[in-house]
């Protein structure tokens, strides 16, 4: 359906920029509320999970090079179960796209556009994302290459400028107040966001050199997780866990806390940089939903589906009533109890294990076949 190709380096930028912005924005607060001063350990566990997921997805891709979830799921699990799995992921892509749009809209009207109807920033972002998705995965990958360094720099600079404000005592005691079960529970909100690299199922088929994808996917997941962990550590070290857990956007308050000579009031710059990361994420979800649906239904001109998926996502984004519904209740009631165990753990492992068994049987059968004389 598409002859576009991307590089392993572009996979790194796609994954890291897609994950880092909203993960830092929305998961530090619930993780600190659960794990307190040990929140950074919970985020480290989430990073290990995300890295493992990236590894599993790249292994599946190497078994079926040039194929996406839409084509290899029926081959691995059979037609009926394979199409059920595809349906689950297509519905997931559309619903999460709508939730991200709403989270973005709630963030904008809660910070810099207080008197603006929430639908206005959502429509603006959706139009830009649709334009880039329509251009294809190559253009989206190039956008991530250009915007990625700016996004990482926009997060790194406030962390460096606030080093003098750190109070190490706020990070103590380590592992004294929380059991392993609490740390795992604290890891779930971040893991449900870092699990976004499940989109690799739709990105890896476009690699010019399939083996380059593992390095880019794994390192991209590690970078996103480590930046989130460092951001959480600094929020706790400066504000204390009790104060940070009561803030909707702790890292934004951390940026506002910067006072380094003439460098002050950096929040507007950081918000602009965050918008870049959210733009990459929304565009990638819209691309996956549109391209995947078209491939599933055999629609050759897949870009037409963008004009169906985008309005559906817009309508669904209006269903949450407020910030609480989109950013607190949805992760708590849907992302953590369903998306995380089923879509991010169970089904990828099932595809990997069954696919590996089928591949070994096929190779073994191929070796046993007598050569033609």
**Which pLDDT value is given to residue 127?**
95
**Which pLDDT value is given to residue 74?**
94
Q: Report whether 57 contacts 310 (CB < 8 A).
A: no
- Separation between Cα atoms, residue 360 and residue 25, nearest integer Å: 43
Residue among 23, 57, 49, 27 at smallest CA distance from 222: 49
**Which pLDDT value is given to residue 369?**
65
**Which pLDDT value is given to residue 259?**
67
The 3-class secondary structure across the chain, one letter per residue, is: CCCCCECHHHHHHHHHHHHHHHHHHHHHHHHHHHHHHHHHHHHHHHHHHHHHHHHHHHHHHHHCCCCCHHHHHHHHHCHHHHHHHHHHHHHHHHHHHHHHHHHHHHHHHHHCCCCCCCHHHHHHHHHHHHHHHHHCHHHHHHHHHHHHHHHHHHHHHHHHHCHHHCCHHHHCCCCCCCCHHHHHHHHHHHHHHHHHHHHHHHHHHHECCCCHHHHHHHHHHHHHHHHHHHHHHHHHHHHCHHHHCCCCCHHHHHHHCCEECCEECCHHHHHHHHHHHHHHHHHHHHHHHHHHHHHHHCCCCHHHHHHHHHHHHHHHHCCCCCHHHHHHHHHHHHHHHHHHHHHHHHHHHHHHHHHHHHHHHHHHHHHHCCCCC
What number of other Cβ atoms are within 10 A of residue 269's Cβ?
14
Q: Sketch out the chain's domains with CATH numbers.
A: 8-364 (1.20.1740.10)
Q: What is the pTM of this model?
A: 0.91
Point out the residues of the chain with pLDDT beneath 50.
373
**Which pLDDT value is given to residue 262?**
63
**Which pLDDT value is given to residue 373?**
43
Residue among 109, 164, 176, 128 at smallest CA distance from 283: 128
């Amino acid at each position: 359906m598409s002859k576009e190709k991307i590089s392993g380096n572009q996979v790194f930028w796609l994954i890291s920029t897609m994950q880092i912005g909203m993960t830092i924005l929305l998961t530090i607060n619930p993780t600190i509320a659960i794990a307190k001063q040990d929140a950074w350990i919970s985020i480290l566990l989430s990073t290990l999970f995300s890295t493992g997921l990236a590894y599993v997805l790249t292994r599946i891709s190497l078994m079926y090079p040039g194929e996406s979830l839409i084509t290899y799921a029926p081959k691995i699990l059979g037609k009926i179960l394979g199409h059920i799995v595809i349906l689950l992921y297509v519905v997931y892509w559309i619903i999460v796209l709508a939730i991200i749009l709403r989270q973005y809209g709630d963030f904008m009207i809660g910070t810099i556009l207080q008197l603006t109807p929430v639908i206005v920033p959502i429509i603006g972002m959706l139009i830009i994302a649709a334009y880039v998705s329509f251009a294809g995965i190559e253009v989206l990958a190039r956008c991530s290459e250009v915007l990625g360094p700016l996004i990482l720099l926009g997060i790194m600079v406030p962390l460096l400028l606030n080093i003098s404000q750190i109070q190490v005592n706020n990070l103590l005691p380590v592992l004294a107040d929380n059991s392993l079960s609490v740390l795992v529970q604290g890891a779930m909100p971040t893991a449900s966001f870092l699990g976004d690299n499940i989109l690799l199922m739709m990105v890896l088929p476009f690699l010019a050199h399939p083996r380059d994808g593992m390095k880019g996917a794994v390192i991209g997941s590690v970078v996103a997780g480590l930046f989130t962990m460092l951001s959480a550590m600094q929020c706790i070290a400066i504000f204390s866990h009790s104060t940070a857990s009561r803030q909707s956007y702790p890292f934004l308050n951390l940026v506002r806390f910067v006072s380094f000579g003439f460098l002050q009031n950096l929040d507007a710059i950081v918000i602009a940089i965050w918008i870049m990361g959210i733009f990459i994420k929304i565009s990638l979800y819209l691309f996956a939903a549109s391209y995947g649906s078209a491939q599933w239904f055999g629609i050759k001109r897949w870009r037409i589906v963008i004009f169906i998926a985008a309005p559906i996502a817009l309508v669904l984004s209006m269903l949450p009533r407020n910030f609480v519904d989109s950013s607190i209740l949805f992760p708590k009631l849907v992302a953590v109890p369903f998306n995380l165990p089923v879509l991010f753990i169970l089904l990828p492992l099932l595809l990997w294990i069954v696919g590996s068994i089928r591949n070994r049987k096929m190779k073994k059968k191929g070796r046993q076949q007598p050569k033609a004389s």
